[in-house]
């Protein structure tokens, strides 16, 4: 049985932790609203761009000469995993969820005899992955100092990936991030960005009426220009989705923590009162029995 | 106004506008072009410049960066990295941007295409600040 003093100290410390988690929850809620707005605003751009590329690929007859970014390098040997995580912790299962998904996939790839390379974005993911895969992590990118992540940063990563692809460092590129569905659900997602994912399945019902489309300049040039842009855009989208997810996840985590701390304080207070009463009773008994013995 | 068609202008950050219009003048990669209703389906690029469209018989201008244009089924979609309403554009900041771009263009590692894009951006900015 802890002494009264100990209990008092513990109650105090839990209370101050509760204050911190509460404050973090508030901050996350405020940031979430903004991040969510940005993420939702960015969705049309990336989905429309995807659509254009889809329409373009439809109208290309000669698939063998299509750009490599679209159809792949023809091999399926080396896989580049771009794993996007947060730079900060205390956000529930956010970082672990992405890492878990990525690790599972990486294990699968390796067991199939493929080579895996990793680029980690965000320091938390690096911390989790370096234990197992330190030797195949090509690069660790972190934007901890940056307050706002703009298209420029995504473009930087996109260019790095493109460079690697052009040097045939990998055949397939998969992007891992948390897709923001709503405040309590974020879905860890794996999205293949090189070669461009086939979006055929979604749109097979919707037959294109206009098969004839004018291109200016020609298809190849347009595709050659659009595909790199698409990669940067998808990365940017992943960034924003991740940002919103991080805040959402943190908010729920901190909300739970605050509630738990409240429960703990209640329990400790009952304990405290009980032991206080016990010590008073004990003292009374001592006094009474002392008086009786006289 | 039966001659209108849908027009969206979207940047990665947000959707700038979504409206009905009768006419849009686009600074396309291979020269300026105007899109009217029932234009044939087209996909092309933008070069940095000014996009002009009619909204209830007022013409509006937007300063844009390079991007993509798609016109299909009377729906014009413009994706660009940056778009600013020309009325809200701070003209006093133009010389600074021009200087920055001019120093960028002198770097050796940029490609001819990038050079072309930057120089057309400079031209547009110069025109505005005049």
Domain ranges of chain B: 5-86, 90-129
pLDDT at site A202: 46
Percent share of chain A, pLDDT over 70: 91
Q: Of B53, B3, B46, B55, which is closest to residue B24 (Cα–Cα)?
A: B53
Q: Does A163 touch chain B (CB under 8 A)?
A: no
Integer-rounded Cα Rg, in Å, for chain B is 15
Q: How far apart are CA A11 and CA B30, in angstroms?
A: 72
**What is the ipTM, given to two decimal places?**
0.78
Closest by alpha carbon to B77, among B50, B49, B43, B33?
B43
Triad A61, A44, B61: Cα angle to 5°: 100
Is domain A31-251 given the CATH code 3.30.2400.10 in the classification?
Answer: no
Q: How many CB pairs under 8 A join A and B?
A: 73
Domain B5-86: top CATH class:
mainly beta
Residue A29 to chain B, least CA–CA distance (Å): 21
What are the residue ranges spanned by the domains of chain A? 4-21+254-293, 31-251
Q: Tokens representing A166?
A: 């052009």
Q: What is the pLDDT of residues A79-99, one digit of tens each?
A: 999 999 988 888 888 999 999
User: Average pLDDT, stretch B102-128?
Assistant: 80
Residues paired with A121 in a beta bridge:
A84, A141
Handedness of CA A212, A214, A218, A222 (dihedral sign): negative
Helical H runs in A60-150? Answer: 68-71, 94-111, 123-133
Average pLDDT rounded to a whole number, residues A258-285: 95
- Return the axis-axis angle of helices A151-166 and A219-293, rounded to nearest 10°: 120
pLDDT tens readout for residues A118-129? 999 888 888 888
The yes-or-no verdict on residue A27 having pLDDT over 60 is yes
Cβ-defined contact of B13 to A55 (cutoff 8 Å): no
Q: What is the mean pLDDT of residues A29-46?
A: 89
Token duo for residue A239: 């960034």
Contact yes or no for A210 and B73 at CB 8 A: yes
Nearest CA in chain A to B80: A45
With cut-offs at 50, 70 and 90, classify the pLDDT of residue A286: very high
Which element (helix H / strand E) includes A282?
A: helix A219-293
Band of residue A266 on the pLDDT scale cut at 50, 70, 90: very high
Find, in chain A, the residue whose alpha carbon is nearest to that of B18: A44
Whether the predicted pLDDT of A16 surpasses 90: yes
Peptide bond into A219 cis (omega under 30): no
A44 closest CB neighbour out of B15, B45, B81: B15
Answer with the residue of higher pLDDT: A89 or A25: A25
Q: How confident is the model at residue A63 (pLDDT cuts 50, 70, 90)?
A: low
Domain A4-21+254-293 has CATH 1.10.287.80: yes
CA distances from A17 to A13, A21, A257, A264 (A): 6, 6, 9, 11
pLDDT digits (tens, 9 = 90+) for A172-225: 899 999 998 888 888 999 988 888 766 544 444 444 444 567 777 777 778 888
Q: Does any CB of chain B come closer than 8 Å to the CB of residue A41?
A: yes
| Range A138-161 average pLDDT | 84
- Rounded CA-CA distance A16/A27 in Å is 17
Locate A151 and state its tokens.
């298209």
Confidence bin at A155 (pLDDT 50/70/90): confident
Whether A91 is a known active-site residue: answer yes
* One-character DSSP codes across B11-55: -SS-EEEEEEES-EEEEETTEEEEE-TTPPPEEEEE-SEEEEEEE
Distance from first CA to last CA of chain A, Å, rounded? 32
Residue A135 has pLDDT above 80, yes or no: yes
| Residue B16 predicted with pLDDT over 80 | yes
Calculate what percentage of chain B has a pLDDT beyond 90. 4
A157-185 pLDDT tens trace: 888 998 898 888 888 899 999 998 888 88
Confidence of residue A8 (pLDDT cuts 50, 70, 90): very high
Cα distance between residue A156 and residue A235, in whole Å: 10
């Amino acid at each position: 049985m802890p002494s009264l003093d100990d209990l008092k100290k513990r109650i105090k410390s839990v209370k101050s932790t509760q204050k911190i988690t509460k404050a973090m929850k508030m901050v996350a809620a405020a940031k979430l609203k903004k991040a969510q707005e940005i993420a939702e605003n960015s969705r049309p751009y990336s989905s429309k761009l995807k659509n254009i590329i889809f329409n373009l690929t439809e109208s290309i007859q000669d698939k063998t000469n299509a750009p490599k970014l679209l159809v792949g390098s023809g091999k399926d040997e080396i896989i580049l995993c771009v794993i996007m995580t947060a730079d900060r912790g205390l956000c529930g299962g956010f970082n672990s969820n992405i890492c878990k998904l990525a690790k599972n996939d990486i294990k699968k790839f390796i067991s199939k005899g493929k080579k895996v390379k990793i680029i980690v974005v965000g320091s938390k993911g690096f911390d989790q992955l370096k234990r197992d895969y330190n030797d195949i992590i090509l690069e660790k990118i972190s934007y901890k100092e940056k307050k706002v992540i703009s298209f420029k940063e995504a473009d930087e990563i996109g260019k790095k990936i493109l460079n690697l692809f052009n040097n045939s460092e990998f055949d397939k590129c998969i992007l891992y991030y948390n897709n923001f569905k709503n405040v309590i659900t974020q879905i860890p997602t794996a999205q293949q960005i090189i070669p461009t994912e086939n979006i055929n399945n979604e749109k097979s019902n919707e037959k294109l009426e206009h098969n004839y489309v004018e291109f200016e300049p020609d298809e190849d040039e347009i595709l050659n220009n659009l595909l790199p842009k698409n990669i940067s855009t998808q990365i940017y989208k992943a960034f924003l989705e991740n940002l919103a997810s991080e805040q959402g996840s943190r908010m729920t985590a901190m909300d739970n923590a605050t509630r738990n701390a409240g429960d703990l304080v209640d329990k400790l207070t009952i304990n405290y009162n009980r032991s206080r009463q016990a010590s008073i009773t004990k003292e009374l008994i001592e006094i009474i029995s002392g008086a009786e013995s006289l | 106004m039966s001659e209108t068609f849908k027009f969206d202008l979207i940047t990665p950050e947000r959707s700038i506008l979504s409206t009905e219009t009768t006419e849009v003048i686009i600074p396309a990669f291979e020269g300026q072009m105007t899109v009217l209703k029932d234009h044939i389906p087209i996909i092309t690029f933008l070069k940095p410049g000014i996009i002009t469209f009619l909204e209830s018989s007022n013409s509006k201008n937007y300063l844009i960066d390079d991007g993509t244009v798609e016109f299909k089924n009377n729906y014009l979609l413009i994706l660009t990295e940056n778009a600013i309403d020309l009325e809200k554009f701070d003209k006093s900041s133009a010389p600074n941007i021009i200087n920055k771009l001019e120093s960028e263009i002198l770097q050796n590692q940029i490609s001819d295409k990038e050079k072309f894009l930057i120089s057309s951006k400079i031209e547009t900015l110069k025109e505005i600040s005049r």
